[in-house]
Amino acid sequence: MAKKSQRVGQQLENMIDSTNANYLLKGLALMVRQHEEVKTRGYRDKETNQKVITNAYHKGKGGLDYAGVVNGRYVSFDAKSAADRLAFSAIAPHQVRLMKNIERMGGDAFILTYIRSANAVYLVPAAYLVPLYEEWEAHQELNKATGKNTRYEGGASLNVTNLNDNAFVVLPSLIGSVDWLPAYKKMIQTRMAGA
């Protein structure tokens, strides 16, 4: 099951890459795929004089998958795929802290998640996700500290109903199969209407 999830996740990122390339061509957005820094170890082969990599590891914690600029605003997001719900355990704590700081500094952060059971991509705003995640995380920490394993009543994931009510559906278009920019604009309009 993990291999299928990785494959679907890679397909989602490839579709986002294609859409982002079209955005750049049309002058709509500049989004760059972020890669974790990898440190390699190896040796130089005496016969070929080429470096042979014997070990590689991630140098630090990665951020969010994409970062860039839309209409002069800093935007960063992560891409996730899941079978039927976006589990909080699939999101790293440092990613949530990064999204929170981006929003605090005036940028925009979100998660694009593909839910296979709904065959839909959702844009999940950090403003919605971060407080729920932090409550869930605090409950997890309390369980660790007390040695108890109590169930968190708030839930450990966002299901399709949660996403339909609080996130924005990303629809395919001629620009790309994951045309997230209209959903992003709706997120900004909703935020402005609520302010």
pLDDT score recorded for residue 149: 77
Q: What is the pTM of this model?
A: 0.82
Name the amino acid, one letter, at 110. Answer: F
Whether the pLDDT of residue 106 is over 60: the answer is yes
Strands 108-115 and 73-82: parallel
Residues 109, 115, 117: CA angle, nearest 5 degrees:
165
Please write the tens of the pLDDT for every residue from 6-43.
Answer: 677 789 999 999 999 999 999 999 999 986 655 556 66
Please write the tens of the pLDDT for every residue from 121-151.
Answer: 999 999 999 999 999 998 888 888 888 877 7
Q: What 3-state DSSP class applies to 155?
A: coil
Q: What 3-state DSSP class applies to 29?
A: coil
- The order of strands in the sheet holding 168-170 is 30-33, 66-70, 73-82, 108-115, 120-125, 168-170
Whether the pLDDT of residue 59 is over 70: the answer is no
Given a contact cutoff of 8 angstroms between Cβ atoms, the answer to whether 40 and 53 are in contact is yes
Given a contact cutoff of 8 angstroms between Cβ atoms, the answer to whether 18 and 31 are in contact is no
- Distance, CA of 81 to CA of 104 (rounded, Å): 26
**Confidence at 58, pLDDT banded by 50, 70, 90:** very low
Please write the tens of the pLDDT for every residue from 73-97.
Answer: 999 999 999 999 999 999 999 999 9
User: What's the chain's average pLDDT?
Assistant: 87
The number of beta carbons lying within 10 Å of the beta carbon of residue 99 is 27
Q: Into which CATH architecture does domain 2-32+61-194 fall?
A: 3-Layer(aba) Sandwich (3.40)
Please write the tens of the pLDDT for every residue from 150-174.
Answer: 777 778 899 999 999 999 999 989 8
Structure tokens at 17: 């890459």
Return the exposure string of 60-78: e unless at least 16 CB atoms fall within 10 Å of the residue's CB, then b.
Answer: eebbbbbbbebeeeebbbb
